[in-house]
A and B are shown apart, each in its own frame.
Chain A
Amino acid sequence: MKHWEVVIGLETHAQLSTRSKIFSGASTAFGAEPNSQACAVDLGLPGVLPVPNHGAVERAIRFGLAVGGHIAPLSVFARKNYFYPDLPKGYQISQFESPVVQGGTLTIHTSAGEKTVRLTRAHLEEDAGKSLHEDFHGCSGIDLNRAGTPLLEIVTEPDLRSAEEAVAYARALHGLVRWIEICDGNMQEGSFRCDVNVSVRPVGQAEYGTRCEIKNLNSFRFIERAVDCEVKRQIELIEDGGTVRQETRLYDPERDETRPMRSKEDAQDYRYFPDPDLPPLRIDAAWVREVAAGLPELPSARRARYQQELGLGVYDAGLLTASREAGDYFEALRAAAPAVDAKVCANWVNGELAAALNRAELDFAASRVSAIQLAGLLRRLADGTVSGKIAKEIFELMWSEGGEADAIIDAKGLRQISDSGALEAILRDIVERSPAQVAEYRGGKEKVFGFFVGQAMKATQGKANPAQLNELLRTLLAG
């Protein structure tokens, strides 16, 4: 059997978070009554004209800067002509030959390590409306609320080599667009959706295989599964002597398979040409500088800083920069607890807190334990007031019942016993009551040490300072 290499490129539609549409003043809010947010321009009434939304252009510039792409000083809106009932004008205003962002890169991290994915372009365009084929007494309904919603279509080079990489890219892009606040990233509402181009070729072959495009994947899991089953389909097809046809396919999550939607032969000629209603989009250097000045520290820069300055590992730094909310939480925690070791902070955020958030299906921004509260707890851990074990218990209480760490420590008497005299008395008592174990330990059975620690923790209800406990115990047992 031959070995196959998978080649993947993604086209992602990120809905830009402007309040109004890309070429009209109508609202972009999701979930309104059908056709209640479509004005004359969105309806494509005779005589109406588009006017570009400054905010949408600014968001495209933010993106271009964040990926290190070239911001075209002059880009062109073009018409993509085709008939469809949810496309009111009979053409979509997009960008074709001269997109607003050209080039750029995005770095992803997978089990294989770090990889830089090249971006081809990112261009501005308007979304179409929605056809509703159910519940209309045998007719189709059209909702044009979405028509004219601003999109940034972000296109990669065919640089990805596995479903894992495709998902890592989609996650990194999702994190980035939310980080720089150009897109809310809501995948259920369709604010972030991916088309995945997949082909396979024998390892070592220079030419790409024939690709299929899987349209409109709106979850990371679907991206992974769609790529996996499409790769399997293509390999099986070729190995059975068939050839892959260039076509657009749909992924059916119910049956976990991709199905053909339309083939290249039915591909329409979109008759692209520059939109005569819109002068070329001019972006001068001053505007780019102004936008650059307003950009937050980017996830890649922060990740590097966490690794270099705070000494965090790749994994922790990656998690803490995967989303703007996680990053903001960690920054707030660090600011409130500057004396606590950064690694300890990272462990807590990525450990206890992340687990609790996961269980409750909450985002960092909605955490029941705020960064300030967690800082209060970690300060007590750092100054030895409580042990790690007790701290976790306190965290659980804070999570389930609320409150500040100090109040819980006082109310529940959880203060760690760090008085070496008191602790020594307790330990002495245990050692005296356990001659057999003492003999075993002294005879070389180091493992018995754990027995004494357990007894001591039991006797102190876990409040013994573990470091002090270990030291005292070793001295006592040494005789």
Chain B
Amino acid sequence: MSLDSLIDGTLRGLAGALARREVKAAEVAGAFLDRIAAANPSLNCFITVDRERCLAEAASADRWLDAQHARLVGHPAAPDGPDAVSGRLAGVPIAHKDIFCAEGWRTTAGSRMLENFVAPYDAQVITRFRDAGAVHLGRANMDEFAMGSSNENSYFGPVRNPWDQTRVPGGSSGGSAAAVAAGLAPAATGTDTGGSIRQPAAWCGVSGLKPTYGRVSRYGMIAFASSLDQAGAFARCADDLALLLDVMAGHDVRDATSVARQDPGFASLLGQPLRGLRVGVPRDWFGPGLASGIGDAVQVALAELQRQGCTLVDIDLPASAHAIPAYYVIAPAEASSNLSRFDGVRFGHRAADYRNLDELYERSRAEGFGPEVKRRILIGSYVLSHGYYDAYYLQAQKVRRLIAEDFTRAFAQCDLIAGPVTPTSAFTLGACNDDPVQMYLEDMYTIPVNLAGLPGMSVPAGFDQGLPVGLQLIGPWWQEARLLQVAHAYQQHTDWHQFRPVGVPGVAA
């Protein structure tokens, strides 16, 4: 198998080839780094790439793999690859959203505020990948502090959608999604506060999973809205996502909101038939706001699930209609407080000129934050203010509870929910510049899932006028394995996830 076809294949395939020593981690990393060098000037998927460091990590993975291989070769019970958690991604390069602190890596969160911030410690997600032997490929571009749905809010410039470089990749994890779509990384981490994994996954035609809130530790992940933020991943197929989640997930004593559970592995239901599963379809989500091309593609996907033995059930999620306003109270409220630590005192951007403490704060923050971040800090400060708290923050929390209750009711009738990820497909750069609310509306189908803390996926489900369309799968709490089962079964009978954009510099078509 050629190196190109190997690194364009699945993560499991790549990890297996590395374990069997059919390819060196240094070769794999080198090949991705070469592609990044060629494509990043136009796509801008990465904020930071450190070729030397990446290759050093790969070389160290090669030494470990060589030792493992020597020990296992000829052994009758020698597995196909290392199956212990420590080493299951040995030598596999992973792109990390630039929101996960990684010791010694510049960690910017897409902001000028952290342009020169080198993290002194590892996020738990980074530690998990390190323990699994993965190689840190680079730092994926993102909307500033994960605020945005187009990746245009990055201080380091917008990411371009590899399917059409005049268009945005979605956001906030746009760099991660675009990198996987363009073949610049076999997989990438992301975070999803209101759709920041599922929406760019849909627009870039890759598979993306946002786990249940509490499934993956938030320790070391720069906070946007703490009660909504959840780390997840992008890959080329559901099977690979299961592998990634097995590495990322787990209780962490350093995150009081992470949950200790003994669930079977995320791959535990892969390959099981779908017969008898009840798929809830929120009919309200197929109204006039939904682009017809997307609606059609999603209907075809639902028909495929039906063909495999699923029953479609109409469900109602009435409170979801209020999800966006509730979200744009709660998320900015939390963000306004979370971002207070960026004050120019201990780390991050500090203004060059200031006459007193107030000016130090005002100028450092005025210079360090971009307009969308400032907008949300203002909204958040306002809704938490004395006299407004009850009308906004408390009210939004009530709506949030109603939304969660809707889902609980719905899951009494169905095993999972399926529908669109986004109302439209990727728009052209700058199209929403004058209308932030229009951009906010892109998240109307994803935000309710975050407000309820549920796991959600985006699975490639076709194209609308040449642009990828995603199918969203939503499960009850902790039912990621169910979502992955359904997505995997779908991908066994469709090939939408195997389409690749053409014309990415450095990547053979």
A and B are partners in one complex rather than unrelated chains: yes
Cα–Cα, bound, A43→B222 (Å) = 14
Known interface pairs A47-B223, A278-B256; A273-B333 also in contact (CB < 8 Å): yes
Contact A89 B340 (CB under 8 A): yes
**A81 & B221 in contact (Cβ 8 Å cutoff):** no
A74 in the interface (beta carbon within 8 A) = no
Q: Which B residues lie within 8 Å of A85 (CB)?
A: 343, 345, 357
Given contacts A51-B253, A88-B346, A276-B334, contact A46 B341 (CB under 8 A): yes
From residue B225, how far is it (CB to closest CB) to chain A in Å? 7
* Residue among A40, A81, A273 making CB contact with B340, cutoff 8 Å: A81
A81 to B336, CA, bound (A): 9
Per-residue A-contact encoding for B280-323, CB less than 8 Å = 1, 0 else: 00000000000000000000000000000000000000000000
Inside 8 A of A91's CB, which chain B residues have their CB? 337, 340
Contact flags A40-52 to B (C-beta < 8 A → 1, else 0) = 1001111111111
A271 adjacent to chain B (CB < 8 Å): yes
Of A45, A48, A273, which one neighbours B337 at CB under 8 angstroms? A273
Task: State the Cβ distance, A301 to closest chain B Cβ, in Å.
Answer: 37
Closest Cβ of chain B to A416, distance in Å, is 68
8 Å CB contact of A45 from B109, B120, B221, B385: B120
User: Does the CB pair A83–B361 fall under 8 Å?
Assistant: yes
Per the bound structure, the CA–CA distance linking A79 and B340 in Å amounts to: 11
CA distance A46 to B123 in the complex (A): 10
Task: Tell yes or no: A279 within 8 A of B by CB.
Answer: yes
B120 and A271 form a contact (CB under 8 A): no
Evaluate whether A52 and B256 lie within 8 angstroms (CB atoms) in the complex, with A47-B220, A277-B226 already known.
yes
B:331-352 near A, CB below 8 Å:
333-334, 336-337, 339-343, 345-347
Q: Name which residue of chain B comes closest to A273, CB basis.
A: B384
B220 and A48 form a contact (CB under 8 A)? yes
Q: Does A269 contact B (CB under 8 A)?
A: yes
A271 touches B385 (CB 8 A): yes
Q: Which residues between 220 and 259 of chain B lie within 8 Å of chain A, taking CB atoms?
A: 220-223, 225-227, 253-257
Q: Verify B219–A48 contact, CB threshold 8 A.
A: yes
- List 8 A-B residue pairs with CB atoms under 8 Å apart, sorted by A's residue number: A45-B347, A89-B340, A90-B343, A269-B385, A271-B336, A271-B384, A276-B334, A278-B256
Alpha-carbon distance A278/B255, docked complex (angstroms): 9
Size band of the interface chain A makes with B: 20 to 34
A142 is an interface residue with CB less than 8 A from chain B: yes
Q: Chain B interface secondary structure, helix, strand, loop or mixed?
A: loop
- Interface flags, A10-42, vs B, CB<8A=1, else 0: 000000000000000000000000000000100
Taken residue by residue from 105 to 145, chain A's Cβ proximity to chain B (1 for < 8 Å, 0 otherwise) reads as 00000000000000000000000000000000000001000
Distance between B352 CB and nearest chain A CB, rounded to angstroms: 16
Within 8 A of B (CB), among A202-222: none
A47 B221 Cβ-Cβ under 8 A: yes
Q: Is B121 an interface residue (CB 8 A)?
A: yes
CB distance from B216 to the nearest CB of A (A): 13
The interface residues of chain A lying within 8 Å CB-to-CB of B357 are: 85
The docked-state distance in angstroms from the alpha carbon of A45 to that of B101 is: 10
B368 to chain A, nearest CB (A): 12
Smallest CB-CB separation from A40: which chain B residue? B121
A-B pairs, 6 with minimum CB distance = A90-B340, A276-B227, A276-B226, A271-B384, A47-B220, A46-B222
> Whole-angstrom distance between the alpha carbons of A142 and B346 in the complex?
10
Query: What residues of chain A lie closer than 8 Å to B107, measured between beta carbons?
Result: 46
The interface of chain A, by Cβ under 8 A from chain B, is: 40, 43-52, 79, 81, 83, 85, 88-91, 142, 269, 271-273, 276-279
* Nearest chain B CB to A388 CB, angstrom units: 62
Q: Are A45 and B121 in contact (CB under 8 A)?
A: yes
CB-defined contacts of A81 to chain B, threshold 8 Å: 336-337, 340, 384
Cβ contacts under 8 Å, B256 to chain A = 49-52, 277-279
Q: How many residues of B contact A (CB 8 A)?
A: 44
- A85 and B100 CA atoms in complex are apart in Å by 25
| B389 close to A (CB within 8 Å) | yes
- The answer to whether B385 touches A44 (Cβ under 8 A) is no
| Inter-subunit contact A47/B343 (CB<8 Å) | no
* In the complex, chain A residues whose CB is within 8 Å of the CB of B253: 51
- A273 contacts B393, CB within 8 Å? yes
- Provide the residues of chain A in CB contact with B257, threshold 8 Å: 49, 276-279
List chain A residues, Cβ under 8 A from B221: 47
CB distance from A281 to the nearest CB of B (A): 10
State whether B218 touches A49 (Cβ < 8 A): yes
Most buried by B among A44, A88, A271, A277: A271
**8 Å CB contacts to A: which residues of B105-119?**
107, 109, 114, 117, 119
With A51-B254, A271-B337 known, 16 other A-B pairs at CB within 8 A are: A40-B121, A45-B119, A45-B121, A46-B341, A47-B119, A47-B219, A47-B220, A85-B343, A90-B340, A91-B337, A142-B345, A273-B389, A276-B225, A276-B227, A277-B223, A277-B257
Across-interface contacts of B345 in A (CB, < 8 A): 85, 88, 142
* Bound CA span A241–B386, Å: 33
* B354 shortest CB reach to chain A, Å: 13
Q: How far is the CA of A85 from the CA of B123 in the complex (A)?
A: 25
Within the assembled complex, what's the spacing in Å between the Cα atoms of A271 and B255? 24
A43→B227 CA distance, assembly (Å): 22
Query: A47's contact among B123, B227, B386, by CB below 8 Å, is which?
Result: B123
Q: Give, as a whole number of angstroms, the nearest-CB distance from B309 to chain A.
A: 40
Nearest A residue (CB) for B361: A83
CB-CB under 8 A from A142, the residues of chain B are 345
- Considering the chains assembled together, what is the distance between the CA atoms of A51 and B339 in angstroms? 19
A85 to B358, CA, bound (A): 10
Give bound CA distance, A243 to B390, whole Å: 33
Chain A nearest CB, measured from B299 CB (Å): 37
Q: Closest residue to A52 on the B side, CB-wise?
A: B256
Contacts of A47 on B, CB cut-off 8 Å? 100-101, 119, 123, 218-223
- Residues from chain B with a CB closer than 8 A to the CB of A79 are 337
Residues of A within 8 A of B100 (CB): 47
* Alpha-carbon gap, A277 to B340, bound state (A): 15
Q: How far is the CA of A44 from the CA of B357 in the complex (A)?
A: 19
**A136 CB, min distance to chain B CBs, angstroms:** 14
Q: Does B428 contact A (CB under 8 A)?
A: no
* A-contacting residues, B386-419, CB 8 Å: 386, 389, 393
Contacts of B346 in A (CB 8 A): 43-44, 88
A81, B385: Cα distance in complex, Å? 11
Chain A residues lying within 8 Å of B361, measured Cβ to Cβ, are 83
B255 CB to nearest A CB, Å: 5
The residues of A that contact B479 with a CB separation of less than 8 Å are none
Q: How far is the CB of A273 from chain B (nearest CB, A)?
A: 5
Which chain B residue shows the least CB distance to A81? Answer: B337
**Interface hits, B364-400 → A, CB 8 Å:** 381, 384-386, 389, 393
